[in-house]
Structure 1
Amino acid sequence: MNSSFELQNLDLIDLLSERHSLVRKISEQAWNDQSDIYISNSEWYIMARIYKKQPTLSYINKHVEISRQAIHKFIKQLAAKELIVIHNVENNKKEKCVQLTALGEACYEKNEALKAQLEQKIAEKIGAEQVKLLKDLLTLEWGIDSK
């Protein structure tokens, strides 16, 4: 679904969903076209929470809107692709923390550049001021927390 007529007939929730789905698909395709390492949107989401940090697995479970089992699966996949490493937390035998490897950081940064290119394409089409306005609107406090 992508014609303007079809999009005009959607409510705000479905319109946000359609646009989100479209830009995620384009972003994922841009990465996959230039890399041998397949990384799913959920894996990117987790990598974004890890980038330049060493969060614990319990922190990731609390702050990533994916089921605990799925997070565990994605963490294992990221480790198998050598994009993250899992460490023991000092003075805590149960807790583990995760960190991007040099390869993981390089992939993350390259993907950020690809997303910036996509944002630039959108700005060329709808205008830089419109993109800024959209970002400003999306970062406002909406007063609709899920919890």
Structure 2
Amino acid sequence: MKHYAYILTGVLASSIIATPAMADSTTRVAAASALGSVVGNVIGKQVGGSNGADLGAAIGGAGGAAAASSKSSRTESAIGGGLGSYAGSALGKNYGSNGQIIGAALGAAGGAALGNKISDDKDAEKRKYNNSRKYKRSQWKRSRHYHD
């Protein structure tokens, strides 16, 4: 079990390092959250058994997602990574200890990517709304100036 966890951790760590600088931020956040959840799962299992592994995966997934995301999307990514890794770890428990690690990694990656995407969409909507307000305000001032 330990050897499998170490191998999986090494593979995920190398994939984060090998990710090019131009990669999408969602990919980086998902990979970091998956790595954090695996490490948290292994450490939590050593400290508190199966339930400790669930909590460790949640903390590790949230921490990894928060560390890799931008300042504006940190909260959403951390919440998604934490919830996804906890759910994946709890569901993977039915398939043994390796299933618990794999479930935590997949859940963390999916949850962090979803949280990051929600934050990006929210920021885009905010920019769109602010830009339309600026345009309307400038048009209103311009039309008012010409009619005075």
What TM-score bracket applies, with the shorter chain setting the length? Answer: under 0.3
TM-score by length of 2: 0.27
Which protein has greater RCO, CA pairs closer than 8 Å, 6+ apart?
Answer: 2
TM-score by length of 1: 0.27
Larger Rg: 2
Greater per-residue strand proportion: 1
Greater per-residue helix proportion: 2
